[in-house]
Amino acid sequence: MTTKWIATPKRTKEILDAHGFSFKKSLGQNFIIDANILNNIIQKAGIDKQTGAVEIGPGIGALTEQLAVHADKVTAYEIDQRLLSILKETLTPYDNIQIIHQDILEADVSDMVKSCFKPGQPIHLVANLPYYITTPILMKLLHDDLPVTSFTVMIQKEVAERMAAGPNSKRYGSLSIAVQYYTRAEVIMNVPKRVFMPPPNVDSSVLKLTRRESPPVQVIDEDFFFDIVQACFAQRRKTLRNNLIRHFKASADNQTISDGLKQARIDEKRRAESLTMEEFAFLANTFYRIIETGT
């Protein structure tokens, strides 16, 4: 039976040849040709027959097929029109798959989840993401506050490490804070290039993001908090004070910045990469009070 899976080099090649399909690099098309890797991902994602699955970019259906076998139902978004007729053919044996022809960045996933899945059903997003838009896709999905329990995604190894990084590491930055504000992030496996057709130019990892019930820190204003975090990392080698002076140059003088840091009990000579999320939250709330409310 396993030789019949779409996710084998032989079957993938047959499908591509039969349809005269040529990969579009611009759409990040690197298809998986190893069913064991897919099953491992699906198991780690927490997929079972009680759960619903959302996929982004089904390609020719390698992961979609495995999701259909293990989940109650699958909905997948595919942007490339040429793949629709291929998917119709390759996924014929399954009656629990819905393909939506849409750019994921334009999709109302929340609405889809409400209309396509059972009320209260745990929903997991599982995808081998197109690498050229990994960050915009994940940030949109996290900001949209979707009724999705977890996101298990194959992405570029370096981006996965940045999203999961903690303080005092070279990968830790504003992306780590943005992702970890909404989720618990964990790199669950590294994946060799040879399981893709064609092999990508970069190394890949699977990242699992589990949505938090509520953020781990309380901030007065989320936009203000994320802006400050980004500003503190703007020039990684500079001190917090220097980065903050730049950020607030229109609204605060240098003394106000020093006073704010003192009030937040954070040494002004520290660099952003040494601050925990709690410290960033305290810093942002302190400056919010000083700059926005004058207290």
Of 25-33, 203-211, 239-247, 287-295, which part binds ligand SAM (CB under 6 A)? 25-33
**Binder among 15, 28, 247, 266 for ligand SAM (CB under 6 A):** 28
- Shortest Cβ 61–ligand SAM spacing (Å): 7
> Could you give the CA distance from residue 16 to residue 9 in angstroms, rounded to a whole number?
11
Given 58, 150, 180, 206, the residue binding ligand SAM (CB under 6 A): 58
* Residue 5 binds to ligand SAM (criterion: CB under 6 A): no
Which residue, 32 or 207, is less far from ligand SAM as judged by CB?
A: 32
Q: Does 104 bind ligand SAM (CB under 6 A)?
A: yes
Helices assigned H by DSSP within 103-215? 109-116, 134-143, 157-164, 174-182
Contact yes or no for 62/7 (Cβ under 8 A):
yes
Q: Which is nearer to ligand SAM, 101 or 236 (CB)?
A: 101
Selected binder of ligand SAM within 5, 11, 15, 32 (CB under 6 A): 32
Residue 85: partners with Cβ closer than 8 Å, 6 or more residues away: 19
Closest CA to 125 of 64, 192, 189, 59: 64
DSSP-assigned beta bridge partners for residue 146: none
**Contacting ligand SAM (CB under 6 A), which of 18, 43, 50, 105?**
105
Does 128 help bind ligand SAM (rule: CB under 6 A)? Answer: yes
- First vs last C-alpha separation in the chain: 69
- Strands (DSSP E) contained in 17-66 are 31-32, 52-56
Question: Could you list the residues that contact ligand SAM (CB under 6 A)?
Answer: 27-32, 56-59, 62-63, 77-80, 83, 103-105, 128, 130, 133
